[in-house]
Chains A and B, each alone.
Chain A
Amino acid sequence: GAVVSQHPSRVICKSGTSVKIECRSLDFQATTMFWYRQFPKQSLMLMATSNEGSKATYEQGVEKDKFLINHASLTLSTLTVTSAHPEDSSFYICSARGGLAGVKETQYFGPGTRLLVL
């Protein structure tokens, strides 16, 4: 089946620093990647959508200068949380959708990255 990986699985950083999270589609080409955020006891909230080689589309209320998304290839997207603050502490989950036959309509999710900002 289609596999999406994320790295790191968890990260602790100091307030004011930047953190980069990588998302890779391991066995298919992801034409579209998505970034979600999930706070404790809440559902997933879509942050942004990105297509390979083009700028990400951010959901309303998500600061594009704070959450930098790069989708440089069909298998890799990165999310950089710039100048992180404690309120950015959350579970960040990426997702990918591709054009591979049989998975075109299916979106696969990574295992998530737990970010704790001190």
Chain B
Amino acid sequence: DAKTTQPNSMESNEEEPVHLPCNHSTISGTDYIHWYRQLPSQGPEYVIHGLTSNVNNRMASLAIAEDRKSSTLILHRATLRDAAVYYCILRATGANSKLTFGKGITLSVRP
């Protein structure tokens, strides 16, 4: 599986935008970019995913570089409930593809 690289941690202020970067220089043409987040003692929660174009949903936006070697998860207004570990994961299409979790980035939100 192609790997992703994320910073270990990031701090943000409440109600300010947050940009979480992810590098995936070995991404292949069939890899989707998935983002999940995990709050303490909970299962991961789906955030967003994309292939080539930028994506928006009610939780976040995903900006994908033109060469697809990096992407950024954007939380438009951070809240205290957004404090979590965010995982950027590549997954190929196909019935046998799997989500392999790395260490993720720990986001702290200051009130």
Residues of A within 8 A of B (CB): 4, 6, 31-32, 34, 36, 43-46, 49, 51, 91, 93, 95, 105-112, 114
Partner of B98, one of A4, A31, A49, A110: A49
Expressed in whole angstroms, the Cα–Cα distance for A43 and B103 within the complex equals: 6
B:23-50 near A, CB below 8 Å: 32, 34, 36, 38, 41-46, 49
Are A108 and B46 in contact, with the CB atoms below 8 A? yes
Residues of B within 8 A of A (CB): 32, 34, 36, 38, 41-46, 49, 87, 91, 93, 95-96, 98-104
A-side contacts of B96, CB under 8 Å: 49
A-side contacts of B95, CB under 8 Å: 31-32, 51
Are A109 and B43 in contact, with the CB atoms below 8 A? yes
Partner of A107, one of B38, B41, B99, B102: B99
Report 18 cross-chain contacts, Cβ distance below 8 Å, ordered by A residue.
A4-B43, A36-B101, A43-B101, A43-B102, A44-B38, A44-B44, A44-B101, A45-B101, A95-B43, A105-B49, A106-B46, A108-B46, A109-B36, A109-B44, A110-B43, A111-B42, A111-B43, A114-B41
